Structure formats: C-alpha cells, structure tokens
Amino acid sequence: MGRVQAELKIDDEAEGGASGPVPGVQALTRGVQLLELVASAATPPRFTDLLEGSGMPKGTLHRILQALVDERLLKLDGRDQTYRLGSRLFQWAHRVWDDFDLRGAAEPELERLRDLTGETVRLGILDGDGILYIDQREAPQPVRLSNGVGSRAKPYASGLGKAILAHLSLEMRRRLLGETELQRLTPHTIADFNELISQLDLTKARGYAVSIDEQNVGISSVAAPILDHEAKPLGAIGVIGPSFRLPPERLHALGRDVIEAARRISGNIGEVAMSLNINPRPLGADRDDVCCAIPASLFLGEGPHWSVQDQQLYFVDILAPSVCVGDPIKGSYRSWPMPELTSFLIPRKGGGFIAGMQSEVRAIDPSENESLVLARPETNRPGNRFNDGKCDRRGRLWAGTLAIDTTPGQGSLWRLDPDGRVHAMDRGFHVSNGLGWSPDDRLFYFTDTAKQTIYVYDFDSETGTIENRRVFVTVPESEGKPDGLTIDAEGFVWSAHWDGWCVTRYDPDGRVERVINLPVPRPTSCVFGGADMQTLFVTSARIRLSAAQIADAPLSGSIFAIETGIKGLPENVFGG
C-alpha cells in the first residue's frame, strides 16, 4: 500500500491536512467518496463525471484516482475512459462474507419486523435438503407452532424455503428437489415439480415468497431471501402466523417489509433493481380529466392494447399471471389465469392472440385454454423472461426480455415475423420496456427502465431493421422511471413513470410537453383508445407497496382513463 500512503501524504500536505490530528484522513475520506460514486453510478463514470460529482480540485481528483487504480480498487477502461470497481474489492468482499454473522446481522430486523407486524418472525438457512430455523422472535400473542428454532421444514412448502429456492439456479433446484418425490403435506402443498418451478420463478420476479396452508393447515407466511454480494441466498427472513391473521392480501402487503428487512441484514449488498421506495405524492387535488376506468387490484398491470374492432382493452397481470379483457364503459373486466409469467397480449390477424409468456411467445385462446409455442429465442438464458411487446405496421412482433431477478445487461430485443422467423435486434439491456413507432414509421423507440432511458433508433419499415441507437430522453430519478409508452398521431411520446405518479408527454425532440399526475405511484404503461382514439388508458401496479402506501393510494392496480383531446395511433395486430 506504499503508493496509496504516499499519495495520501502528498494530498494532505498540499491541502493543509498535515496539521490535523490524523494525517491522511481527508484524502482517505475522499478516496472512499470516489469509490462510492463509482459504485452507485448508473453507468461507469468518466473523469468529468467524477469531477462534477465529487467537487474535488482536478489535480487532487487525478492523484487519488491514480492511487486507487494502482492498488486495484478501481480500474480504468481504456476503450471509453470510464472507471469501474477494481478486483481487490471483490477479493475483500469474499473475505467479508466468509466471516459473515447472519444471526447477529439479522437480530435487529427480527425484532423490528415482530414489532411492526405483531407476528412471529423467523430466520432460516438451507441445510442439506431442508430449511433449518436458526432464530426466531415470538409474536406478543403467539400461536402454537409445531416447529421453532432448531427445527426443520420442507423448502418447497415453506415461505422461507421458497424464497431461498427461487434464487438458486435451475440446476441446483433440480439437484435438491428433482430426485425425490415432493410430499404433499397438506391439500395446498405444490407437489408437481414443473408447477413448483413456475411458482419459484414467480417468487423471484415478485421478490418475496408466500406460503398459504402449504406446510401446515391454518399457518401462512411471507419471506424474502437474504442475498450476498453475488446475489446468492445466505438465508431468508419471514413473517409467520395463523392464516386468519395473515390472509393473502396482508401477506402481499408485507412483501415489501420482508424485502426491506432482508436488504438491511446484508447491507443491500445483494440488492437488485426491484424498487421499494416511491417518490413523494404530487401536491394538489386529483385532476378532473383523470378517472378510474376499471377498478382492479392488479399486482403488475401491464401491456394495454386497445382493440378498435372490439372497442375493448386487453391487458395482463404479470405477477398474478393472467390475461384480461376490459370494458371501460361498464368499468369491468374478465380475466383468465395463466400458468406462468405473462407480459403482453396482442390479437392475431388469423384469430386469437399472441402472448409473451415467461420464455416463449405463444399463440393462445384463453377461453378455450389452448396455446401453441411460436418462438423460444432465449433457450441459452433460462433465467430470462419477456416483458413489453408490440407489433409494427407490417404485423411483426417486437418484444424485449430481462432477467427475472433483473440482473443488469441480460435483456435483449427480439423480432418475430409473421412467418415464424426470429431475429435478435439488440442486446445488453437491463429492464427492457416500452416501445413504439413514429407516425411516419421512420423512428423506433425502446425503453430501458433501470437505466432511466428511452432510446430512439432509425427504423426501416420495409426491411424491419433498426440502427443508430441514441438517447431520446433520460428521466431524472426524482421523476420516477420510464416504463411503458405509446405515441400519438402528432409524433409525441407518452411515457408512464413507475414510482413517479405520472404520465409524461415528450415532443419529438425529447422535451417535456406536459406532465399528467395520477392518484397512484406506479403507473406502468399506456395506450390510446376509446371511440375517438383520444382517451389515454393507463395500467398500474400495487406490487411491493407497503400497507401504508396502499392506504394512501388505494386505486393502485387499477386502469385509468385520461381525456387528452389528442388523437392517438391505433395498435397493430400480429400478422400471423
């Protein structure tokens, strides 16, 4: 560490720090500040970014950066002159986790959750082929449970077990569960391996697991995994109690609280891009031109598609997998459950629909419970799922993917032609999302929610190709995250802002033209519809909102209608 010591001394003497009580402390603090700036940046920062973010003199910044690079605490990518965390930090991280005291770190969270919920809270680890409970805090009015600290449970039937299993690789799941018959402990236990795998993928996407009468009749739980620096499960923490005190709606409302507790235990080391915090609710009364068109309690309402022919709104609930058809005039909808994560539903020219399932695009007829696989493009990435999807004016489907646990850089953009051919159009996205085309078919828009960015490409309608990707708009975090989008007849882009309580209209140059506030924090997507195509329908979500947040925004998960006075573009159907 001689170089770092030398640089600290030089920097301290240069800025008067040598007269302080501990030589080098100021420079050391600044070095830690730089490491934090690099670690928290959405994209690897350049020197100018760090200069602006740190407020340091240029010479001081250069010297400290060079010292950190020399000691492998940072690395400089010569291709684009950006800084990333260095290998020595990861070597140290492994040593930290080798000595990690899970029980000690979890103790305050066990007590906090017990006091918050009034229920028993447990800490468990995967031990061999079972879950071992290693700590517990009893509820003020405890219910008699058949097991406690030191006892074991079947992982596939308990909340803690499913939270851990969901974050193991498919290979590890099969090795752990596939060689033995799943025992049906109660009438509600999932005893089919393939059904269990689908439920674990759903758990991974939600961020928490629920167990309702699966281990013992009359006992329910909700749990979240405690992840290490490689996002591997160290254990899980969960709330457990009698089912009459923990009905499904309360279990899901507590999902956010157990995720938050798990992240605190690990110091947010294994945190993934599942947002828990929402921006403050906008001040002022609700707008008169915004109404709740279809009251609902969707976990993650998404993929709205207005059918001009049927005058109905199609949409999905990704995290309570179902496809839905709604009538905004009557304010009602019908839904059909789906066997796995389902992200969009689009009519087909030949009848029926295409749906973006977990890893497949299928032709489906939900009323007849029929489906046919049309494409399975990501066979090499079983941990991915489809997200938003739309069809261009030639009937080609465009759909993006992302990692179920939102691991960065795993998402791709695909094109499925009506004749069944599949094309990879772009890669390296974090959370693939809203997409659409300009009225003249010369531009294609595509969103990466986690990067706060809507991109725009040059589009060739004849060949179905895209090129020259550039940033259309980057949304400040204070305004939420860009989610689904649609484009009106004037070429303006409408984007729903997750955690932002609003929909924003951007002009063709990316300037904000208007912001329409909504009574829910998590609008997810939008589409034009109605008899005159001037009504903007907006889907929303209630997933990972706390009970207090839902009480403040009780319409979360509903469909909203905004009378814009602006004509939208009709949605296209799949040409196959």
Q: pLDDT by residue (tens digit) across 183-237?
A: 899 999 999 988 999 999 999 999 999 999 999 999 999 999 999 877 889 999 9
Radius of gyration in angstroms for the set of CA atoms belonging to the chain, rounded to a whole number: 25
- Closest by alpha carbon to 323, among 306, 340, 342? 342
Q: Which tens digit of pLDDT belongs to each residue from 120-132? A: 999 999 998 899 9
**Where is average pLDDT lowest: 19-33, 65-79, 96-110, 561-575?**
19-33
Q: Following CA atoms 127, 132, 135, 136 in sequence, which dihedral angle do they give, to the nearest 10 degrees?
A: 150
Q: Quote the pLDDT of residue 98.
A: 57
Q: Answer whether residue 27 shows pLDDT above 90.
A: no
Q: Residues 403-425: what's their mean pLDDT?
A: 92
With a cut of 70, say whether residue 575 has pLDDT above it.
yes
Taking residues 493-507, report their average pLDDT. 97
Give the tens place of pLDDT for each residue, 242-277. Answer: 999 999 999 999 999 999 999 999 875 545 556 677
Confidence at 3, pLDDT banded by 50, 70, 90: very low
Please tell me the predicted confidence (pLDDT) of residue 262.
Answer: 94
Query: 307-334 pLDDT, tens per residue?
Result: 999 999 999 999 999 999 999 999 999 9
For the stretch 425-463, pLDDT in tens is: 999 999 999 999 999 999 999 999 999 999 999 999 999
Torsional class of 468: left (φ above 0), alpha (ψ -120 to 50), beta (otherwise): left
pLDDT value for 1? 38
73-86 burial, b for 16+ CB within 10 Å, e for fewer?
A: bbbbeeeeebbebb
pLDDT confidence of 4, banded at 50, 70, 90? very low
Q: Which helix (H) or strand (E) holds 300?
A: none
Using the predicted structure, report yes or no on whether residue 143 has a pLDDT greater than 90. no
Q: What is the pLDDT of residue 15?
A: 44
Q: Which residues are catalytic?
A: 483
Highest-pLDDT range among 29-33, 184-188, 280-284: 184-188
pLDDT number for residue 121: 95
Identify the pLDDT of residue 13.
Answer: 42
CA 508 – CA 448 distance, rounded (Å): 18
Instruction: Please state, rounded to an integer, the average pLDDT across all residues of the chain.
Output: 89
Q: Mean pLDDT over residues 165-170, rounded?
A: 89
Task: Measure the CA–CA gap between 42 and 449, rounded to whole angstroms.
Answer: 11
